[in-house]
Amino acid sequence: MPFNPNLEDLTDYPFEALRALLNPVTPRVNDEIIAMSLGEPQHQPPPLLAETLAAHAHEWNRYPPMAGTPELRQAIVDWLTRRYNLATGALDPERHVAALAGTKEGLYLFASLVVPRRKAGRKPVVLCPNPYYLVYNGAATMAGADPVFLDATRDNQFLPDLDAIPAETLERCALFYLCSPANPQGTIASLDYLKKAIRLAREYDFVLAADECYAEIYDQVPPPGALEACQGLGGGFDNVVVFHSLSKRSSAAGLRSGFVAGDPTLVGQFKRLRDFGGCQVPVPVQAAAAALWRDEAHVIENRARYRRKFDLAEAAFAGRYGFYRPAGGFFLWLDVGDGEQAALRLWRDAAIRVLPGGYTARAANAGVNPGAEYIRLAIAHDEATLDAAFARIRRVL
């Protein structure tokens, strides 16, 4: 049967690789299994979600507007304006925003919008941080581009070094996926860094897609955003889109609700494409999403709960495994020497599942996988479970 040949270049999804590594092994301990491998929020979303869904239960009969109801788009614009100190009226709900069924599908489909057949006379390039969220690579590959991986290591404060990208690569670049706060390292790109990335996008005529889905889970300082950087630079929102989600902000991963916002030409064309292949968000879900974007109280509480978890992690791991307190996100990125071996030992001897860092990265530059020495732990469980997990980890590693 003929398949799209680009499929052959898709790497294994990391959780497939994790199953292959761990499932043949049975833990030697009777402790309860603790899965810290998946970045799934464990807090409950606020009651507002279920209440709003119930209040809109008569609207399940309606076909949802693909780009989002006017109420949802207005709530998103109001939130973006508040959160990033944008000038009132800078964003128009009609032109600058579109609803998504979670950011995953939007990030994926976006590459097929902006990857041309050729750029600078050659096969186009999509820039991805390394380690990276697997969807960036999948989207780039299936859109017919060459993914180019920019290592984000301790040496460059876990952010791709923008000065090190060769001009020839920038000329071929159609799209740059940038993640801040970064999954897995939790690094926050500064406003200056974002401005530099935007200047490059405009100079070399590519699109900066800023994945900001962890923007509301931070330790001390609210992460700046790419739209805010655009405002500081001038030039409108040209060449820039941001992706946001309720999955982490409101612990509502199951709601499947996010949005894309930015350059009105890109958003307009994306809406056109989405009319063919996008995922619609049911009207009651859009109503719940609008209510969640309008509410900050639950977000503040959620953030405070993650802070307490990072306090526990710091108390358990400070001075070990290269521990640092991440500025954002909800992952620990621990340097354990050999991530795969550590994941195996933690599973076999402590019934804890973690993700070997190498599974979220590629040996792209000089044959070195920048995640190979690390494990990624989502610190999403309740505090008692985390305490138990941290004690087991210290015992085993």
Ligand X SMILES: Cc1ncc(COP(=O)(O)O)c(C=O)c1O
Residue 211 CB, nearest distance to ligand X (Å)?
A: 5
Burial zone of 243 (CB within 10 Å; 0-12 exposed, 13-18 middle, 19+ buried): buried
Q: Which residue lies nearer to ligand X by CB, 211 or 238?
A: 211
If binding is defined by CB under 6 A, does position 35 make contact with ligand X? no
> Whose Cβ is closer to ligand X: residue 105's or residue 340's?
105
Minimal distance in Å, beta carbon 360 to ligand X?
Answer: 10
- Nearer to ligand X by Cβ, of 103 and 302: the residue is 103
Shorter beta-carbon distance to ligand X: residue 17 or 120: 17
Q: How far is the CB of 251 from ligand X (least distance, A)?
A: 11
Please write down the HEC assignment for all residues of the chain.
CCCCHHHHHCCCCHHHHHHHHHCCCCCCCCCCCEECCCCCCCCCCCHHHHHHHHHCHHHCCCCCCCCCCHHHHHHHHHHHHHHCCCCCCCCCCCCCEEEECCHHHHHHHHHHHHCCCCECCECCEEEEEECCCHHHHHHHHHCCCEEEEEECCHHHCCCCCHHHCCHHHHHHEEEEEEECCCCCCCCCCCHHHHHHHHHHHHHHCCEEEEECCCCCCECCCCCCCHHHHHHHHCCCCCCEEEEEEHHHHCCCHHHCCEEEEECHHHHHHHHHHHHHHCCCCCHHHHHHHHHHHHCCHHHHHHHHHHHHHHHHHHHHHCCCCCCCCCCECCEEEEECCCHHHHHHHHHHHHCEECEEHHHHCCCCECCECCCCCEEEEECCCCHHHHHHHHHHHHHHC
Cα torsion at 129, 373, 39, 35 (round to 10°)? 170
Q: Compare residues 104 and 271 and give the one whose CB is closer to ligand X.
A: 104
Is the preceding peptide bond at 181 cis, omega within 30 degrees of 0?
yes
Q: How far is the CB of 123 from ligand X (least distance, A)?
A: 25
Q: Whose Cβ is closer to ligand X: residue 104's or residue 298's?
A: 104
Question: 51-68 as b/e, with b when 16 or more CB fall inside 10 Å?
Answer: ebbeebeebeeeebebbb
d(CA 302, CA 252): 12
Question: Binding string to ligand X for residues 296 to 335, with x set by CB under 6 A, is what?
Answer: ----------------------------------------
CB 391, min distance to ligand X, A: 27
Residue 133 or 218: the one with the smaller Cβ distance to ligand X is 133
Contact stretch for ligand X (CB under 6 A) within 16-24, 97-105, 148-156, 186-194: 97-105
Minimum Å gap between C-beta 214 and ligand X is: 7
Instruction: Kindly determine how many residues on this chain lie close enough to bind ligand X according to the rule CB under 6 A.
Output: 13
Nearer to ligand X, 39 or 262 (CB): 39
The interface with ligand X within residues 231-290 (CB under 6 A) comprises 245, 247, 253, 258
Pick the closer one to ligand X by CB: 226 or 233. 226
182 to 221: interface string for ligand X, x by CB under 6 A: -x---------------------------x-x--------
Binding string, 100-119, against ligand X, x = CB under 6 A? --xxx---------------
Minimal distance, residue 258 CB to ligand X, in Å: 4
CB of 92 to ligand X, least distance (A): 23
Q: Which is nearer to ligand X, 39 or 186 (CB)?
A: 39
* Phi, psi for residue 242 in degrees, rounded to 5: -120, 150
- Judged by CB under 6 A, the stretch of 16-24, 48-56, 96-104, 114-122 that binds ligand X is 96-104
Residues 39-58 touching ligand X, rule: CB under 6 A, are 39
Where does this chain bind ligand X (CB under 6 A)?
39, 102-104, 133, 179, 183, 211, 213, 245, 247, 253, 258
